[in-house]
Amino acid sequence: MAADILEHQHRDQVIRYHLRRTRRKSIGVYVFPDGRVEVRIPLRARQARAEAYVAQMSDWIVQQLARCSSEGPQRPVRYESGTEHYYAGRLYTLHVELGSPQRVELSGDQLRLYCLDPSDIQRVERVLYQWYRQQAERHLRDRVATWWQVMRVDLPHSTAPDLRFRRMKRRWGSCSQRNSISLNVELIRYDPRCWDLVVVHELCHLKVFHHGPAFYQLMTRYLPDWRARQQQLEGMDRRKSVD
């Protein structure tokens, strides 16, 4: 859907943002590497609700805009020997070799990737992504199970949520009121503290399906330092948001 362009005066700075109505249940604000700000709201939500949310989040928006300005656009990921890639919060050097079966192995500070054609960058990317997905399905599934046991007294469903793993461009996770959670495979690249941030965030949404005071109270109950963890994750990848 088309977006309206609105403005909010924050101290001595004007925040210009795109207001976009989407088929979602909650309000989300996104600051992109090029400095564009987008606020997404439910189809039937009133514009005043978005304006109030921008006012509430204005300090954070200005902070993100300043970071975008100082750091410039994020560099694209490359898939060649010698490039660096994160896994579980640590940087590893990618080393691509000819080999079968296609696989990835951790060796010291290296990700050793074996594939049928090391010169085929798209093949290398697919092999690495599949390895990340395997790690995500193993480790993030464990984190969801652990946190569900901790939080189940506050959650509306008697069974653990269905869990899906996806490649998402703009989100780290999402949830459905039908007791389903989706997690971004790319999350496995970063610090396990960030894994728990996204898992707890989505579990809280199973009870409180918006970003109001009740939601943040529940977040703080189970993860008191969630704001610091969120800043850590945003510092790793500004293109995606915890939603």
Distance CA 161, CA 174 (A): 12
Identify the H or E element spanning 183. Answer: strand 180-184
Could you tell me the residue ranges of all domains in the chain?
3-71, 84-236
Residue 97's beta-bridge partner residues? 114
From the CB of residue 199, how many other CB atoms can be counted at a distance below 10 Å? 27
Distance CA 76, CA 98 (A): 24
Which residues are CB-contacts of 174 (< 8 A; sequence separation ≥ 6)?
A: 168, 181, 182, 202, 243
Q: Under a CB-based contact definition with an 8 Å cutoff, are residues 10 and 62 in contact? A: yes
The structure tokens listed for 194 are 């960030």
Mean pLDDT by 10 residues, the chain (243 residues): 79 90 82 80 90 91 76 66 92 94 94 96 96 97 96 91 92 90 95 95 92 91 91 77 74
Count of CA atoms in the C-beta half-sphere (13 A) of 179? 10
Distance CA 208, CA 25 (A): 11
pTM of the complete model beyond 0.75 = no
Domain over 84-236 is classified CATH 3.30.2010.10: yes
